[in-house]
Amino acid sequence: MDVTMRSDKDTVSFNRKEVDSLSMDADKGFINDAYWLLAPMHLVWDEGTTLTVQDTATAPMSQQKMSKITLTYNGEEGGYTPGDAYDFFYDDEYMVREWIYRRGNVSEYSMVTTWEDYKDYKGIKIAADHKAPEDAVHLYFTDIAVKTEE
Buried b (16+ CB within 10 A) or exposed e, 58-70: ebbbeeeebbbbb
Taking residue 96's Cβ as centre, other Cβ atoms within 10 Å add up to 21
Average pLDDT, the chain: 85
For the stretch 129-136, contacts whose Cβ atoms lie closer than 8 Å and that sit 24 or more positions apart, written own/partner, are 130/36, 133/61
* pTM, 2 dp: 0.78
Is the pLDDT score of 81 beyond 80?
no
Residue 9 pLDDT level (bands cut at 50, 70, 90): confident
The rounded distance, in Å, linking the Cα atoms of 36 and 128 is 9
Please give the pLDDT value at position 46: 86
